[in-house]
Amino acid sequence: MAAQTVKTARPRARKRPKGAPVHVVTTSLHCGTRLLKIADVRLFAAHRVYNACLSAALRRAEACKADPDWEKARKMPGGKQKTKAAMAKNLAFAAVRARHSLSETALMSYGSRLRKAWVREHVGAQEAQALARRAYSAADRWVKGTGGRPRFKTARRPLRSIDTKDACGDMKPIFDAAGRLTHLRWAGEDFPVEKVRRDAKSKRAREATAERERLEQAIKDGRLINVRLVKRVISGRVSLQAQWVLDGNPPVRRPVGDGLVSLDMGPSTAHVVTRSPDGSPVPEATGHFELAPSVEFRSKELRRLQRRLDRQHRAGSPLCFDDAKRHVEGRCHWKDRSRAAQTTRARIAEVYRRMAGARSTEHGRLINWLLGYGAQWVAEDIDYVSWQKNFPRSVRDRAPGLFVAKAVRKAENAGGGFRRYSTRLTAASQTCICGRRERKQLSQRRHSCPSCGRDAQRDLFSAYIGSYAYMGEDGLDRLDLEGAGRAWPAFAPHLQEAAGSARSATASAKHRGRVRSKRSTARITARRHRRFAGKATEVLADANQSASSAEAEA
């Protein structure tokens, strides 16, 4: 069957509203060695274009910051966005930006001018403009103070994705005569799209078929905004994926509830209290939930691999360490890594990838399940980055901030909302329904009020109190203690000790079925023999001493 290209470009005169919803559908590309080499060459050329655009953006940003008018604009009174003072301040900043050509349009024009000589053969016009727009966004966050200074792409941190500005770029979908998506055409080269078994009867196959049919219909309806190609390394092998950015919200696969979900986040757990629309509790969605429980076992494997890589580092490059076995300051001299060390690094990268995938999947599964009970969410306004100092491993593995960010996005897409209330003004973990406030140590895990006698698990009680947080007329957060007191008898049985977490059951099951290597078994056996031999020696020494004392008495 002859392949055909479906016209997906929109009229350029049409403007999408700012902040219009989009969603992404990902498909794998089955590519041979030739196509992978072509993609590597094009990504390398895009890598150079991005670095050049980022360098120009940083130069212009530094020129703006060094301009005296920039400092004057910073000292101008601000306020809300629609006030005259805020508008005057924004105009002053815009004048300095225009003077030094720090704008998205100017950077995109600069990126187009870089398409000369060999770069023109590998980077399209829209791809260069998209790279320049990405560089401008990174520099703009640095200028506004919402992000750090952006870093250039290097050989160890290369560019792994490239996209077009809109559907008129060099990346276009190819359909066969039957109207099925078969290839992604990128500048004259056809990259085969992963096929799905449309006649399979398993649940996973039916879901994949429905997803592919929705994607094909969306492209035919002209809802394709742009295409992004991503390079990933899975189990040491390079693979390519196509991300189709579509207009509109994703399809609703599960019904969304109309209740209220209140969170009390911890470094590795989420305590949830759910209220139905009539104010009654939802017992099955109230309790203690562990974040990404399966990541814990991946972290143990990661620790073993990191220790192995450290031993290989010390054996292969002793100049990197001083007499006290500490790594010297400055750049590492360990360049010629052994094949075993390269294998270990690849395994560490694979463990990190699997941890990220498992974490994202389990976060999404828990959020989607809770959305079935309520699309209105509330939680304390917490700086999750500050937890990295006190709970580094839990934050690295469980990612509570990422869980909340995903919950915000999903709740808003489901037609609800996510509201954060002030921790300092409400003090939900310190306040009782009777109005008494008492500071608690982190080791104190129960809320026991001596005034009113209410007793509950501390985190669940905090989530329950937080569900009655509201914003007063003065714009400050308050707690509706009267409403919480009226509903307390119905919620009290469900706010006691947190329900048995999946962590203990999963951990015991994992440890029961743990398979030790021969080396570990031999080490344990030798340790047991040494222990028994030591005890036998002590017993013999006691017996000899008793015998000698008996002979002396005789």
Shared domain for 126 and 270, answered yes or no, is: no
Total count of domains within the chain: 3
Q: Is 517 among the domain residues?
A: no
| Percent of the chain scoring above 70 in pLDDT | 87
* pLDDT number for residue 472: 84
Shared domain for 268 and 148, answered yes or no, is: no
Confidence of residue 543 (pLDDT cuts 50, 70, 90): low
Shared domain for 141 and 272, answered yes or no, is: no
pLDDT over 90 (residue 405): yes
Q: Is 190 among the domain residues?
A: no
Shared domain for 149 and 297, answered yes or no, is: no
Q: Is 341 among the domain residues?
A: yes
Shared domain for 527 and 498, answered yes or no, is: no
Shared domain for 534 and 445, answered yes or no, is: no
DSSP for 67-133 reads: SHHHHHHHHS---STTSHHHHHHHHHHHHHHHHTT-SHHHHHHHHHHT--THHHHHS-HHHHHHHHH
Structure tokens at 240: 């390519």
pLDDT over 90 (residue 368): yes
Shared domain for 490 and 543, answered yes or no, is: no
Q: What region does 240 belong to: left with phi over 0, alpha with psi -120 to 50, or beta?
A: beta
Shared domain for 387 and 532, answered yes or no, is: no
Q: Is 129 among the domain residues?
A: yes
Shared domain for 305 and 450, answered yes or no, is: yes
**For the segment 108-139, what is each residue's pLDDT rounded down to a tens digit?**
999 999 999 999 999 999 999 999 999 999 99
Beta strands 269-275 and 224-234, pairing class: unpaired
Shared domain for 354 and 301, answered yes or no, is: yes
Q: Which residues contact 40 (CB under 8 A, 6 or more apart)?
A: 231
* pLDDT number for residue 514: 44
Q: Is 100 among the domain residues?
A: yes
**For the segment 21-69, what is each residue's pLDDT rounded down to a tens digit?**
888 999 999 999 999 999 999 999 999 999 999 999 999 999 999 999 9
Q: Which residues contact 385 (CB under 8 A, 6 or more apart)?
A: 401
Shared domain for 298 and 393, answered yes or no, is: yes
Beta strands 376-380 and 260-265, pairing class: parallel
Shared domain for 84 and 113, answered yes or no, is: yes
Weakest mean pLDDT among 109-123, 374-388, 518-532? 518-532
Ramachandran angles phi, psi of 377, nearest 5°: -120, 145
> In which residue are the tokens 């392949």 written?
3
Q: Is 436 among the domain residues?
A: yes
Q: Is 5 among the domain residues?
A: no
**For the segment 282-309, what is each residue's pLDDT rounded down to a tens digit?**
999 999 899 999 888 888 899 999 999 9
pTM of the model: 0.76
**Range(s) of the domain holding residue 534:** 523-547
pLDDT over 90 (residue 370): yes
* End-to-end CA separation in angstroms for the chain: 109
User: Which whole number is the average pLDDT over 515-543?
Assistant: 62
Specify the 3-state DSSP secondary structure of 379.
strand
